[in-house]
Amino acid sequence: MLRSPAAAVPDEALIAGQWRRGAGAPAETVDPATGLVLATVHAVSVAEVDEAAEGAARAAADPAWRSLLPHLRARLLHRTADLIDESAEHLAALQTADTGKALTETRALVASAAGTFRYTAAALETAEEAITPSRGDYVTMSRYEPIGVVGAINPWNSPVASDAQKLAPALAGGNAVLLKPAEWTPLVSLALGRLITRAIGELGLPAGLLSVLPGRGSVVGDAIVRHPLTGKVTFTGGTDTGRTIAHAAAEKLMPVSLELGGKSPTIVLADADIEQALAGVMFGIFSSSGQSCVAGSRLFVARELYDSFVGRLVERVEELRVGPGTAPDTQVAPLVHHKHRDSVAAHVERARGEGARVLCGGSVPPGDAYRDGAYYLPTVLAGLDNTSLTCQEEIFGPVLVALDFDGEEDLVRQANDSVYGLACGIWTRDHRAAWRIARRIDAGTVWINTYKQFSITTPFGGLKDSGLGREKSRDGIRAYQRQKSLYWGTSDAPLPWAN
């Protein structure tokens, strides 16, 4: 492959406050729109993970950080948010180059990352330690203290937003962080690390508060999880990897937060606003080229509406504009990597083997403009039962399966017939039906007449095989702290058996 003519990109690891080339194997990161190499990033070695963990432990224990009052700790988050804003266009372009996402989306993700740091700083400044009701001659208090070293392992689909969602509350909680970016997309995480270390230096804080450690998850990620100094791991990614991390954490009796896979149902009732539902269903599955844990990949349409709705949907999907993320009119950008594109294509071929009818898409787009990129056409499948492998397994690409249902009981049964429970969308004018169905669906997030809307103020997480714990909101900071109970005696009388 040729090397991209793009401007210089970050290619050094951050190890205990020092920027240098990792001692591990090199890996090329590739622009999925062109197939051109963006950079060669050397993985860190296991010994360098040890070095980073030891540096993080020292930084976390340093009184200059551990004893810093919350409103002063918040200064780091506020400064980081400002630096992200100042570098917003560079970060967005870098993430588009590294992941293939459309610039309109990466700009929004960068703005979200800045907002996450800013909100978390505000939440930290207003955090309270509660005086709890006493049941005797004492005062009781809940105190929240840092865990120490936190391992944060993120996926390749939305690195800048995912990084902020973990780094901001972990740092707010008074910890030091070992960040492991995805092997395919490390560049924006390394760039964000530059901004945070700049803020750390400006404020005179311990240099080891953040390390950014690129490499393979089976080597670097595993070393972070199993390191004796790591006190908590937060992971976003595949369910199988999440289970492996949970097993390792169980051996250490270490807390984990796991945001895992999904096979989310999106539901169109017979009375839905058709135009709103068509746009929402398409946005729910084809934005981010379907590479989203909450993608609405199973479409359930009321039987009496099914044929007309799916027919109109296919017409609209065939009009979607497929192209590079840098093109202003692109609606479906390339997938993150050629290997992932091939995996999505293999899923569709298996669906054909299961009896699926390909209503549109189902192939790489023709033409020289798409020859070198990791493109795949937005695809709608029909003719499958919800029990098929295609309807049960996460594809993580622009592939939608259309199914029908006959009544609420049939709908809820099919929608909940999944090992996953991350998200759901409901399209209807009937607020009573929406409320009733939303409460019956096994999902951590339910959208009604909208989809893929997020707020840092609102908890996010899944049920069943979609994960453990919650991120975001004011409680997100507490997830990176240990609670301690304090009792202060108020009576001068000795305890009953003191004499």
pLDDT in tens, 9-38: 678 999 999 999 999 999 999 999 999 999
pLDDT digits (tens, 9 = 90+) for 243-295: 999 999 999 999 999 999 999 999 999 999 999 999 999 999 999 999 999 99
Cα–Cα dist 451/290, whole Å: 13
Which residues form the catalytic set? 259, 293
Token look-up 């998200």 returns 423
- DSSP alpha helices (H): ranges in 450-498? 475-478
What are the tens digits of pLDDT across the range 284-319? 999 999 999 999 999 999 999 999 999 999 999 999
Contact by Cβ (8 Å): 176, 209: yes
pLDDT, residue 290, reads: 97
DSSP state of 443: -
pLDDT of amino acid 131: 83
For the chain, domains (ranges, CATH) are 13-260+466-485 (3.40.605.10), 265-448 (3.40.309.10)
In 3D, which of 299, 482, 276, 459 has the Cα closest to residue 378?
299
Helix (H) or strand (E) holding 347: helix 338-353
Instruction: Tell me the pLDDT band of 498, cut-offs 50, 70 and 90.
Output: low
User: Beta strand 230-236 with 210-212: parallel, antiparallel or unpaired?
Assistant: unpaired
